[in-house]
Amino acid sequence: MKNEMQEFLNKLDKLTFVSTDGKTLHTSEGFEISYNLKMNHPFPNYPIQLLLRICSDGVYITSWGCTSNEDNLIATKWWMDKSNDMILKMHEASSNKEDLLKKMFNQLTK
């Protein structure tokens, strides 16, 4: 049986992720992927649902909700991996820019 959540995440993996602001992942294609948590109180074996929401230029495109605890784990791991990758990428870019600016400043103040 195919896991529909994994298939959806595989489609998202085709996008080029460039940054995050914590709760939203941004792509070079102009998409914003965010998440929400929904409490499913009537379902004691499935208490929380992770929802992924895709927008572009403030316009809602689609969303996908986990349908099991297993899906929640798959989607949460995917989100954490993407978010951590973007944080590291952004830190590296900032560090490289800082190094370049320090060199420029040191050259000017010799």
Residues 6+ apart with CB under 8 A from 16: 27, 28, 29
pTM of the predicted model over 0.85: no
Task: Read off the pLDDT of each residue in 37-63 and give the average, rounded to a whole number.
Answer: 88
What DSSP letter does each residue of 11-66 carry, written as one string? HHTTS-EEEE-SSEEEETTSEEEEEEEEE-TT-TTS-EEEEEEEEETTEEEEEEE-
Task: Read off the pLDDT of each residue in 84-102 and give the average, rounded to a whole number.
Answer: 82
Residue 97 has pLDDT above 70, yes or no: yes
In this structure, what token pair is assigned to residue 94?
């900032």
Q: What pLDDT does residue 107 have?
A: 84
In this structure, what token pair is assigned to residue 79?
């989100």
CB 27 within 8 A of CB 15: yes
**Rounded distance between C-alpha atoms, residue 85 and residue 68, angstroms:** 26
Scanning 1-110, the segments in alpha helix (DSSP H) are 4-12, 69-108
For the chain, counts of helices (H) and of strands (E): 2, 5
Amino acid, single-letter form, for residue 54 = I
Q: What pLDDT does residue 42 have?
A: 72
> Length of the chain in residues, anyone?
110
